[in-house]
Amino acid sequence: MNSINSQKKPKKIVYAPPPTDSEIFIKKYTIIMVTHNMQQASRISDLTGFFNVETNNQGDKTGYLVEYAATQTIFENPQEQATQD
């Protein structure tokens, strides 16, 4: 017997094609982060909202959304004065 014939040959060859788009599942999560650290927010978020707080004569505080947009847009070209500050 020569050495080629004495080697074990595979009985089956399994071929797994790459997955199709329908076989790949991407999970998306929404995380709401409240922070005063704008550097941190700009690094991890796709969308950013800026809030402001007003206090009335009785001392009650009311928060409201000032501006909401893509993070890059907010930091490069803020539209509202409160966001620019």
Is-above-0.85 flag for pTM?
A: no
In the block, which residue shows the tokens 């928060």? Answer: 63
Who's near 54: CB < 8 A, 6+ residues apart? 61, 62, 64
Identify whether the C-beta of residue 80 lies closer than 8 Å to the C-beta of residue 50: yes
Once rounded to an integer, what is the mean pLDDT over residues 39-65? Answer: 91
| Across 10-24, 37-51, 59-73, least confident range | 10-24
Closest CA to 36 of 22, 46, 48, 19: 48
Q: Is 82 helix (H, G, I), strand (E, B) or coil?
A: helix
Rounded Cα–Cα distance for residues 69 and 63 (Å): 18
Once rounded to an integer, what is the mean pLDDT over residues 41-50? Answer: 90
CA distances from 18 to 4, 13, 14, 27 (A): 32, 16, 13, 19
**Domain regions of the chain by residue span:** 19-84
